[in-house]
Amino acid sequence: MIRFCLGLALCVASFPCSATLVLAIPTRDGLVVAADSRMTVEGEYFDIAVKLKVARDSTSLVYTTTGYCDFADVPPPGVSMAQWLPIATWQFRATAFVDSYLSNRPSTPLRMENVVEIGAALASSIGDYFDLRTELRELFQGHPVCQLAIFRITAANR
């Protein structure tokens, strides 16, 4: 059985339109879950992002965050964005937050109310980060920031 839930984590920003493609397709042999690898930073495209994550301490939860979920320090002078992204110092990473959250609750059933709870915790965490960076809160006010998709793969579809 495939269970797919999508929870909106925070509705507070937007730059020019961008998107992440995430697919979950059942097959006779199991489940195919795929996502693109594009990351857009300051209008430049980089195909380096690993967007699908298997939750730590779980072999059945796969998740992704999309939108504006990760915030890195500015690269040092003379270092291009392409050079910086693989080694960047991150101020906030939604995937790290979600992984930690799920790891502390390994037996949480994947129901809509639980996804809403995870989304609310992620929204609160991003909100706390924005409290420290008021210019970001103002920039993103009134627009979607980060979305969360979680898939549970059960024994019937492994």
Q: What residues in the chain have per-residue pLDDT under 70? A: 1-19, 58-59, 154-158
**Is residue 4 within 8 Å of residue 110, measured between CB atoms?**
no
CA 50 vs CA 22, 91, 113, 142: distances in Å: 12, 18, 27, 28
Distance CA 50, CA 133 (A): 26
CA 25 vs CA 14, 50, 63: distances in Å: 29, 19, 15
The pLDDT of residue 125: 92
Which pLDDT tens digit goes with each residue over 14-56? 333 455 777 777 777 777 778 888 887 777 788 888 888 887 7
The pLDDT of residue 19: 59
